[in-house]
Amino acid sequence: MVLRNRLKVFRAILNVNQQEMGRLCGVSRQTISLIERGDYSPSVTLALTIAKVCGVTVEEIFYLQEEEEHEKG
Amino acid sequence: MKKDEIRNANRKAMPKFLLVLAVSMVVGGAAGYSSAKYGLDKMAGSIKNVGIVFGTHIAPWLMVAIAVIVPVICIPVYRSAKKLLGAWDGEEEEISDEIDRKLSTAIWISSASLVLSYFLIAASYSGGFATFDSKERTIVFFVGIVAFFAIMIEAILIQQKCVDTAKRTNPEKKASVYDMRFQKKWMEDCDEAEKIMIGKCAYKAYTATNTVCTILAIVLAVCALVFDIGFLPSLVVCLIWIVNLSVYCKEAMRYSKAGNKIS
C-alpha cells in the first residue's frame, strides 16, 4: 500500500503557495513539496495539522492505494 | 526473529566475513614479510624527507592555490543561485531544488577547503624551526600562513552568504552563522522531514567514518612497524573513531528510551 494525497488540490482551494502552506502547518516549504510529490509520508501529528488547516478530515487528504494501482497511475 | 533464523542469518553471512578476514591476514602477512625481506623500513627516512619537502615547499603553495580556486568556483555558483532566487516565483519546485543544490555545493567546497587547509598548515609546520634557517623558506612559510587565513575568511564569508540566501527561501530558519550555537539553532528550526533527512545523512557519515577509521587504523599500525611513523597518527584516528562510536551509542540509548520526544 502506498500513501497518496490530494494536498495540492486543497492548497489550491485555500489559494496559498507552498511557502504559505508550510507556514500555516509549521513546516518548511520543502516538506509541503515532498508531501505533494508523494516523496514523504508525514507523521500523524503533521497529517492532522494539515487536515485542520484545510478544514477537512485526514482521510479526505490522505488515502492508501494499492501498489499496482499506484504504478499504473 | 526466532533463534533458528538468527543462527541461519549468521551462518549465511559467516563465509564472506571469514573470507575478508583471511584476505586481510594474507595481505598483512605479505606486507610484513616484504618489509622484513626487502628492508622497507629503510624507506622510513626517505618518506620523512619527502614529507618535509612537501610541507616546506609544496603545502604553502597549495594553500595559495586553494585560496584562489575556491572563490573562483564558489562565487559564480553562489551568484547563479542568487540569480535563480531573484527569478523564483515561490512555487516552481525545480528552481528551488536547483537553488538548494547550488548553495549546498558552495558550502561543501568551502568547508572541504577549510579542512584541507588545516592539514596543509600542519604539513608546512612539519619542517620545524629549521624552516627559518633560509630566507626563501621563511618567506614561503609566511605566504602559506597568509593563504591559510585567506581560506578561513573565504570559507566563513561564502558560508554566511549561502546560509543567508538559504534563509530567504526558508524563512522559518533564523540562526546566524556567526552564532556559536548555530548548528543547534538551525536544527531546532528544522521540521520533521528535514530532521529525518539529517538523521539519514548523519548515519551515512557515521558508517563512512567507521569504515575509514578501520582502514586507517590497520594501515597506520602496519606503517608504525614498517616506516617507524610512531603511534601519534594511530592515536588520532582511534580518538576520532572512539568519539564517533561513543556519541552514536550514547544517543542511541537516549533515543531508545525517549522515542521521538527529544530533538
Give me A31's grid cell. Answer: 516538506
Tell me the shortest Cα–Cα distance from B101 to chain A, in angstroms. 13
Has residue B156 got a pLDDT over 70?
Answer: yes
Give me A21's grid cell. Answer: 502552506
Has residue A70 got a pLDDT over 60?
Answer: no
Residues of A in contact with B93 (CB under 8 A): 18, 33, 37
Residues of B in contact with A42 (CB under 8 A): 192-193
Residue pair B35/B227 in contact by the 8 Å Cβ criterion: no
H/E stretch holding A71: helix A67-72
Write the CB contacts of B194 (distance below 8 Å, at least 6 apart in sequence). Answer: A28, A30, A31
Residue B219 is predicted with a pLDDT of: 92
List the one residue out of B231, B235, B211 whose CA is nearest residue B222. B231
CB contact under 8 A, B96 and A30: yes
- Tell me, yes or no, if B191 comes closer than 8 A to chain A by beta carbon: yes
Question: A8: nearest CA in chain B?
Answer: B91
Q: Which domain holds residue A24?
A: 2-72
Average pLDDT of chain A? 90
H/E stretch holding A65: strand A62-65
Residues B7-28: what's their mean pLDDT?
80
ipTM, 2 dp: 0.81
Give the rounded percent of residues in chain B with a pLDDT score beyond 90. 48
Residue from the list A18, A19, A28 with its beta carbon closest to the beta carbon of B191:
A28
Has residue A15 got a pLDDT over 70?
Answer: yes
Interval B54-87: pLDDT, tens? 888 899 999 999 999 999 999 999 999 999 988 8
Q: What is the CATH number of the domain that holds A22?
A: 1.10.260.40
Residues of A in contact with B96 (CB under 8 A): 29-30, 33
- The Cα angle at residue B177 between residues B173 and B179, in degrees rounded to 5: 95
Interval B98-141: pLDDT, tens? 999 999 999 999 999 999 999 999 998 887 777 677 888 888 88
Has residue B39 got a pLDDT over 70?
Answer: no
Residue B147 is predicted with a pLDDT of: 95
Residue B262 is predicted with a pLDDT of: 57
Least confidently predicted of A23-37, B42-56, B72-86, B151-165: B42-56
Burial class (CB in 10 A: 0-12, 13-18, 19+), B185: middle
Question: B100: nearest CA in chain A?
Answer: A30
Q: How many CA atoms lie within 13 A of B33 on its CB side?
A: 6
Write the CB contacts of A38 (distance below 8 Å, at least 6 apart in sequence). Answer: A2, A3, A4, A5
What's the domain count of chain A?
Answer: 1
Q: Could you report how far apart the first and last alpha carbons of chain A are, in Å?
A: 14
Give me B85's grid cell. Answer: 532566487
Q: Predicted confidence band at B43 (pLDDT cuts at 50, 70, 90)? A: low
Residues B227-242: what's their mean pLDDT?
92
Give residue for cell 540569480.
Answer: B83
